[in-house]
Amino acid sequence: MRPSHAVFGALALAFTVPTAATADESVVGGTPVRVSQSPWAVALASHDRFGAARSGQFCGGVLVGSSTVVTAAHCLSREVLGVPWQQVGDLRIVIGRDNLSRGGGQELKPAKIWVNPAYDSWTNEGDMAVLTLQKPVRNRPIPIAPHEDTAYRAGNAATVYGWGDMTGEGTYASRLRSAEVNVLEDAVCARAYPGNADGTYKPESMLCAGEPGGGRDACQGDSGGPLVVHGRLVGLVSWGTGCGKAGSPGVYTRASALLPVVTGHGAG
């Protein structure tokens, strides 16, 4: 298995300094946000697999219906979890917790898990999974931007959220952070990722976002988390080469690709 891509489960909402010597992984900053402002941003966690610190967080997720959470398929892969997801007995969805090192909010058990069987770990196509909660929560879900929504337009300002690695070296955030990026033309990612070791950009099912010259970006551990434009979900953090590197934008699962599956799972 190629160890490189979407797989290393830890994120880092990042803000790189492109001029730094170690620019390729040098992630700094991002801004702390309150989960009350973004109640649909959730964390996936397992104490068994990832320890009790930071609530056992290993990926992000998004509440898109009162009992429906979406995330990246690769978050539930053996590469991330070390074992098949069916063997993780304490997989939890953490909702409404500002600081993962403290309590608050709820830790919920998924009643049902669907991992896209068509997920291709080589191209990273179809990087999506749906977790159904045992009962509805009152936290506000975020609407998914439908296909052809203007939210997907290149040039739009977008915000990515996560509890991932803030340094590119495994310094994970305890508090939810967000970073402002731009939706980029598909051509930018098609040029950057024509079929690399990290993946292949497919515009029908992926979305390209970042800073043209490098800079703010998602990073390891942010996977599965939301990319938002005008209050609508446009993407899930999926993959990229490094974090915030010039010429290597972030690649997201295009949120509209989730609509058929989420509707199929009865999300409202």
* Contacts with ligand ARG, residue ranges (CB under 6 A): 6, 8-11, 164, 217-223, 237, 239-240, 243, 250
Token readout for 176 is 């939810």
State the nearest-atom distance from the C-beta of 263 to ligand ARG, in Å: 26
Residue among 207, 140, 231, 172 nearest 10 (CA): 172
Cβ-based nearer residue to ligand ARG, 61 or 250: 250
State the nearest-atom distance from the C-beta of 234 to ligand ARG, in Å: 14
Cβ-based nearer residue to ligand ARG, 125 or 217: 217
* Catalytic choice (24, 127, 165, 198): 127
Cβ-based nearer residue to ligand ARG, 40 or 193: 193
Contacts of 25 (CB under 8 A, 6+ apart): 16, 167, 168, 169, 242, 243, 245
Cβ-based nearer residue to ligand ARG, 189 or 262: 189
Residue among 246, 180, 177 nearest 216 (CA): 180
223 is catalytic: yes
Residue among 259, 233, 250 nearest 63 (CA): 233
State the nearest-atom distance from the C-beta of 251 to ligand ARG, in Å: 7
Token readout for 215 is 């800079």
Cβ-based nearer residue to ligand ARG, 40 or 172: 172
State the nearest-atom distance from the C-beta of 268 to ligand ARG, in Å: 28
Compute the Cα dihedral for 1, 52, 168, 13 and give only its sign. Answer: positive
* Catalytic choice (74, 165, 198, 238): 74
State the nearest-atom distance from the C-beta of 41 to ligand ARG, in Å: 14
198 is catalytic: no
Shortest Cβ contact with ligand ARG: which residue?
240
36 is catalytic: no
Token readout for 196 is 């690399």
Strands 177-183 and 68-71 turn out to be unpaired
Residue 63's SS3 state is: strand
Q: Catalogue the active-site residues.
A: 74, 127, 223
